[in-house]
């Protein structure tokens, strides 16, 4: 029975590996044994619907979640029902590694699109902490990267006007999609609703709409049927004051980007 579920997991993990392991290897090279270990750590892969809650604020999840396919997002509601989107999770991103050391979620996580989510039991992660120090570095590292991204998001919403905020976010999304190999010619699938974009940059949907129109009319981007194309990356980055330093890209990735 245990064996069976292992086997099931194995067929799915190929996908987990593609994204998550790839991400980790931006930090350290993993041995085959370590990859295998991560593979077998996944006990389940859930298919969740758009909008479904994956982790709820205040709860204590029993598993750590990794996005395999689709988009998820971190969010928090303020009192009058205003939602702040605190981060987007792309394939390969971990949602809640904090929970191995903290006793409750301080935010919620939900699916922004239909998604596949891999689950790893907390105890497995704890075992890794004890016995596979390089891998625990990797978890710590990935958490530090999300902290750095969050910090830049904070700066974005704190000092920049609405149009630059949106532009900055789009630049980041482009780079992160490039890293994941999900772009063609600076264009990629952006499943966000204008309202979902708004909640990440802290402006009104109506205003987001007008900002996007301006970016389009100035021919920095085109956005149609959820496909975003960056038409003039140079100019967009400059306009947004975007510098990818905070993403802590490895040399290898920086090279990949410049192609």
Partner DNA sequence: CGGTGTCTTGACATTTCTCAAGTTGGGTGG
Partner DNA sequence: CCACCCAACTTGAGAAATGTCAAGACACCG
User: Which residues are at the interface with a copy of itself (CB under 8 A)?
Assistant: 27, 58, 74, 76, 78-79, 82-84, 86, 98, 101-104, 106-107, 129-130, 133, 137, 140-141, 143-148, 150-155, 157-160, 199-202, 241, 245-246, 248
Where are any strands of DSSP class E within the chain? 44-48, 53-55, 63-69, 72-77, 83-89, 108-111, 115-121, 187-189, 221-224, 227-230
- Shortest Cβ 135–a copy of itself spacing (Å): 13
Q: Which is nearer to a copy of itself, 40 or 246 (CB)?
A: 246
Q: Of a copy of itself, DNA, none, which one sits near residue 102, judging by CB under 5 to 8 A according to partner kind? A: a copy of itself
Cβ nearer to DNA, comparing 11 with 217: 217
194 binds, among a copy of itself, DNA, none (CB under 5 to 8 A by kind): DNA
In this structure, the strands spanning 108-111 and 227-230 are unpaired
CB closer to DNA, 178 vs 209: 209
Residue number, 1 or 78, with CB nearest to DNA: 78
Q: Exposed, middle or buried: residue 184 (CB in 10 Å: 0-12, 13-18, 19+)? A: exposed
If the CB atoms of residues 17 and 249 are measured against a copy of itself, the closer one turns out to be 249
Q: Min. distance of Cβ 79 from a copy of itself in angstroms?
A: 5
Alpha carbons 181 and 40: distance in angstroms, whole number: 25
Tell me the C-alpha distance between 66 and 99, whole Å: 13
Structure tokens at 10: 């194995």
**Residues in touch with DNA (CB under 7 A):** 161-163, 193-195, 202-207, 209-210, 212-213, 225
CB of 103 to a copy of itself, least distance (A): 7
What whole-number distance in Å separates Cα of residue 162 and Cα of residue 210?
10
Residue 83 · residue 122 · CB < 8 Å: no
How many residues are recorded in the chain? 259
- Give min distance, CB of 78 to DNA, in A: 12
């Amino acid at each position: 029975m245990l064996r069976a579920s292992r086997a099931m997991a194995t067929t799915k993990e190929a996908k987990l590996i593609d994204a998550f392991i790839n991400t980790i290897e931006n930090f350290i090279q993993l041995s085959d044994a370590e990859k295998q270990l991560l593979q077998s750590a996944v006990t389940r892969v859930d298919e969740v619907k758009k909008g479904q809650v994956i982790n709820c604020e205040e709860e204590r999840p029993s598993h750590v979640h990794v996005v395999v396919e689709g988009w998820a997002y971190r969010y928090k509601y303020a009192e009058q029902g205003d939602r702040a989107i605190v981060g987007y999770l792309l394939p390969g991103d971990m949602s809640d590694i904090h929970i191995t050391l903290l006793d409750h979620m301080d935010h919620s996580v939900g699916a922004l699109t239909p998604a596949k989510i891999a689950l790893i039991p907390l105890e497995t992660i704890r075992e890794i902490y004890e016995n596979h120090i390089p891998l625990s570095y990797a978890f710590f590292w990935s958490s530090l990267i999300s902290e750095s991204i969050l910090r830049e998001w904070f700066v974005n919403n704190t000092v920049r006007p609405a149009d630059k905020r949106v532009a900055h976010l789009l630049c980041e999304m482009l780079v992160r999609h490039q890293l994941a190999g999900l772009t063609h010619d600076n264009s990629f699938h952006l499943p966000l609703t204008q309202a979902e974009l708004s909640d990440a940059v802290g402006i009104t949907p109506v205003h987001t709409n007008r900002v996007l129109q301006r970016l389009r009319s100035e021919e920095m981007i085109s956005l149609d049927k959820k496909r975003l194309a960056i038409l003039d990356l140079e100019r967009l980055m400059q306009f947004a004051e975007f510098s990818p330093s905070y993403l802590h890209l490895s040399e290898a990735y920086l090279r990949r980007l410049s192609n």
